[in-house]
Amino acid sequence: MNVIELKNLTKTYGKARGITNISFNVEEGEIFGFIGPNGAGKSTTIRTMLSLIYPTSGSAMIFGKDSVKYGPEIKKEIGYLPSEVFYYDNMKVKELLKYSASFYKKDCSKRITQLAEMLDLDLNKRIDDLSFGNKKKVGIVQGLLHEPKLIILDEPTSGLDPLMQQKFFELLKEENKKGTTILFSSHILSEVQKLCDRVAIIKEGELVNVEKISTLKENNHKRFKLESQTQVPHDYFKIKGVQNLEVNNHITSFLYSGNINMILQKLAQLELYNLWIEEPDLEEIFMHYYEKEN
């Protein structure tokens, strides 16, 4: 069964870019990644699904029901964490969570305590006084306290420290084991890779591809940048898997995908001052996508 079904979902705002003909399905029990650079239309898509804004054309079906027509009904089973969390400043964390729970016809107090404990969140503080990361935690608890069947997360990890991210991911995996479907939007490929089964890639308001994570992993690119004592000869890195090679005096940079030991052996033979190995940014990954398609 499809929990989310987007059919040619289009939203245009005056001049600003919206989204065009977005179509994909998310199956029940899936952790589905939704990835794209900032401003690609991820939040617009999600806000349309939640009928905060209405589609210009096309439709979003959630639990098989039209998201505009049956909005309040389907939202009973949705937990949503917005990308930027803003809450009623003069409330305490506990008050906000109680208020949030009061919209659902079930007792969530146990769950609130449990989640707060897990995320190390102080319930008696004023929301105003919380740091960005702690506000995000309030958002997480708020989104999960009614044990929804579908969790929608818009850039959920920003502001969380790595340890907390880890706990949060474990929490999501646990929910997923219980059968919860998760839509996880992010601009960081690595975190999507860690968690998701499939991803939809969006760029400039259009869907680029829907891929299995396993396929993406085969194209696990790393960006290498190194500063060497002498200029590296142009053909030194002419091995399989090296792309976009640039040699600029003592600085050399390239993208690499393939067996990591191979490249490390190559690097070991150089006299280096400095070395950076990074996740390539999405633009580069997308470039790769376009190349492959052509």
Using rule CB under 8 A, residue 92 touches another protein:
no
Among 8, 88, 233, 246, binds another protein (CB under 8 A): 88
Residue 139 or 280 with smaller CB distance to another protein: 139
- Please identify, among the stretches 95-103, 106-114, 159-167, 198-206, the one whose residues bind another protein according to the rule CB under 8 A: 95-103
Using rule CB under 8 A, residue 107 touches another protein:
no
Cβ at position 68, least distance to another protein in Å? 10
Using rule CB under 8 A, residue 132 touches another protein:
no
Q: What count of residues does the chain have? A: 294
- Among residues 123, 124, 121, 192, the alpha carbon closest in space to that of 156 is found at 192
Among 24, 80, 286, 289, binds another protein (CB under 8 A): 80
Which 3-state string (H, E, C) describes the chain? CEEEEEEEEEECCCCCCCEEEEEEEEECCCEEEEECCCCCCHHHHHHHHCCCCCCCEEEEEECCEECCCCHHHHHCCEEEECCCCCCCCCCEHHHHHHHHHCCCCCCCHHHHHHHHHHHCCCCCCEHHHCCHHHHHHHHHHHHHCCCCCEEEEECCCCCCCHHHHHHHHHHHHHHHHCCCEEEEEECCHHHHHHHCCEEEEEECCEEEEEEEHHHHHHCCEEEEEEEECCCCCCCCCCCCCEEEEEEECCEEEEEEECCHHHHHHHHHCCCEEEEEEECCCHHHHHHHHHHHHC
Among 75, 137, 149, 221, binds another protein (CB under 8 A): 75
Using rule CB under 8 A, residue 10 touches another protein:
no
Cβ contact 82:139 at 8 Å: yes
Using rule CB under 8 A, residue 102 touches another protein:
yes
Among 86, 110, 131, 179, binds another protein (CB under 8 A): 86
Cβ at position 171, least distance to another protein in Å? 19
Among 20, 51, 67, 228, binds another protein (CB under 8 A): 51
- Using CB under 8 A as the binding rule, the residues of this chain from 21 to 50 that contact another protein are 47, 50
Using rule CB under 8 A, residue 72 touches another protein:
yes
Cβ at position 81, least distance to another protein in Å? 9
Among 37, 104, 176, 257, binds another protein (CB under 8 A): 104
- Please identify, among the stretches 33-41, 70-78, 174-182, 273-281, the one whose residues bind another protein according to the rule CB under 8 A: 70-78
Contact residues toward another protein (CB under 8 A) are 13, 47, 50-54, 71-73, 75-76, 78-80, 82, 84, 86-90, 99-100, 102-104, 142
